[in-house]
Amino acid sequence: MRVAELPLRVLMGPGPSPVDPRVLEALAQPTLGHLDPAFLTLLDQLRSELRSVYGTRNTVTLPMSGTGSLGMETCLVNLLEPGDRILVGVNGVFGTRMCEVARRLGAEVSRVDAPWGRALDPDDLRRGLRDGPFKLLALVHAETSTGVLQDLAPLRALADEAGALLLVDTVTSLGGVAVDLDAHGVDASYSGTQKCLSCPPGLAPISLSERALNVVRARRTPIASWYMDLTLIGQYWGAERVYHHTAPINMLFALERALSLVLEETLPVRFERHRRHAAALAAGLEALGLVLPVPEASRLPPLTLVSVPAGVDEGAVRQTLLSRYNLELGAGLGQFAGKAWRIGLMGAGATRENVTLCLTALSEALREQGFATNPDAVARAHAVLDGEQVSRA
């Protein structure tokens, strides 16, 4: 098979999301050297744009040369030393993963759990922090495994009570939901490029506060990973321009273009677009007769969890959508494996076209499996889109 023979898909899973052709064009720009003055100028611009999207003035705001999970590990390997204590809020796969990564680094891991599909209760976190001291309080802002959005507002005060740094996973929120690191007092965050930034996967934007960097500088033990050592990587991104590793040049071209498109749209307009299309999709799915397990107040606009009805073969439905419409939905993950689909409306994919196609195709595939759906679902979704557009005019 040639790459050029690969199918063209409508990506409505948990990421990667559809990539704007202008980003693909930037990706394919001829490669430059990682110390080329023109490339370094572009890096400065990228960093400035990334700070705007993150809502931070943090000096160390940069994309790590790997995927989102490398971003997670980068934050933990720089901040944690063997024996350090971390409290992780867990309500899905990615909170669970943070525990695992921290444990491998020799940290002592405590966790506060919420049921999958629910946000963590700040009071539960407060109780968990009473067993402190903890060096780090870590949570997932946007749980990609469940489609739950965690409110960041109360977390800084909780971390302060415990004297802990605050680490937040923003993989599926950055660029699609307000993150505002500085306003929320977040000390460290990591994300991915292939969700609401609508860039291919391969980079992990991170940001660390001055307070977090001071903790890194005060370490008693070396950072276990050379590749992820932010004291070294910062010297390439800083004025020194010291070579550390060869930057993934073309992916950085693409990310710069993707960030500039986010800022051209403006963050408020982009967040509202994600919110509106998710609301329309939810209305349509419920009109089809489907159940959304996440309470409305905790729903993550870029990613909607929807239960597979009893008697329906979830894999067969996804297979039908893929082969008939080139439409990719996400399977359930972890506790939701086989029980739910995950439908992404991220970045360039949060469109009326995608909402319409998804509801139409899903309705058809469900009917073929004997599940009666309401033919008005698409109209209900459009009413949300149009009604709100009118009310905003």
Output the smallest distance, CB 360 to a copy of itself, in A: 20
Angle between helical axes of 314-325 and 352-368 (0-180°, round to 10): 120
Q: Binding to a copy of itself (CB under 8 A): which residues in 294-333?
A: 322, 328, 331, 333
Kindly state whether residue 239 participates in binding a copy of itself, applying the rule CB under 8 A: no
| Angstrom distance (rounded) from CA 224 to CA 75 | 12
* Cα 249 → chain centroid: 22
Q: Which is nearer to a copy of itself, 178 or 224 (CB)?
A: 224
**CB-based burial of residue 219 (10 Å sphere; 0-12 exposed, 13-18 middle, 19+ buried)?**
middle
Output the smallest distance, CB 13 to a copy of itself, in A: 6
DSSP single-letter state for residue 348: G
Kindly state whether residue 6 participates in binding a copy of itself, applying the rule CB under 8 A: yes
- Interface with a copy of itself (CB under 8 A), residue from 30, 268, 311, 370: 30
Kindly state whether residue 214 participates in binding a copy of itself, applying the rule CB under 8 A: no
- Interface with a copy of itself (CB under 8 A), residue from 122, 132, 154, 201: 201
Kindly state whether residue 34 participates in binding a copy of itself, applying the rule CB under 8 A: yes
Round to the nearest angstrom and report the end-to-end CA distance of the chain. Answer: 49
- Interface with a copy of itself (CB under 8 A), residue from 190, 237, 253, 371: 253
Q: What is the DSSP string of 47-114?
A: HHHHHHHHT---SEEEEESS-HHHHHHHHHHHH--TT-EEEEEESSHHHHHHHHHHHHTT-EEEEEE-
Backbone angles phi, psi at 62, to 5 degrees: -160, 160
- Interface with a copy of itself (CB under 8 A), residue from 177, 256, 283, 305: 256
Q: Is 262 helix (H, G, I), strand (E, B) or coil?
A: helix
- Interface with a copy of itself (CB under 8 A), residue from 55, 63, 68, 293: 68
Q: Binding to a copy of itself (CB under 8 A): which residues in 140-159?
A: none
Question: What are the angstrom distances between the C-alpha of 263 and each of 41, 49, 172, 250, 257?
Answer: 18, 8, 17, 20, 10
Kindly state whether residue 9 participates in binding a copy of itself, applying the rule CB under 8 A: yes
Stretch that binds a copy of itself, among 130-138, 246-254, 296-304, 360-368 (CB under 8 A): 246-254
Output the smallest distance, CB 294 to a copy of itself, in A: 21
| Angstrom distance (rounded) from CA 144 to CA 167 | 17
Kindly state whether residue 225 participates in binding a copy of itself, applying the rule CB under 8 A: yes
Residue 122: cis peptide before it, omega within 30 degrees of 0: no
How many Cα neighbours within 13 Å face the side chain of 276?
A: 19
- Interface with a copy of itself (CB under 8 A), residue from 83, 211, 226, 241: 226
Q: Is 166 helix (H, G, I), strand (E, B) or coil?
A: strand
Kindly state whether residue 342 participates in binding a copy of itself, applying the rule CB under 8 A: no
Kindly state whether residue 7 participates in binding a copy of itself, applying the rule CB under 8 A: yes
Kindly state whether residue 100 participates in binding a copy of itself, applying the rule CB under 8 A: yes
Output the smallest distance, CB 371 to a copy of itself, in A: 24
Kindly state whether residue 196 participates in binding a copy of itself, applying the rule CB under 8 A: no
Output the smallest distance, CB 366 to a copy of itself, in A: 21
Tokens for 359? 């509801």
Output the smallest distance, CB 72 to a copy of itself, in A: 8
Stretch that binds a copy of itself, among 132-140, 253-261, 271-279, 307-315 (CB under 8 A): 253-261
Stretch that binds a copy of itself, among 6-14, 107-115, 361-369, 377-385 (CB under 8 A): 6-14
Kindly state whether residue 116 participates in binding a copy of itself, applying the rule CB under 8 A: no
Q: Could you identify the residue written with the tokens 């890194």?
A: 216
CB 102 within 8 A of CB 80: yes
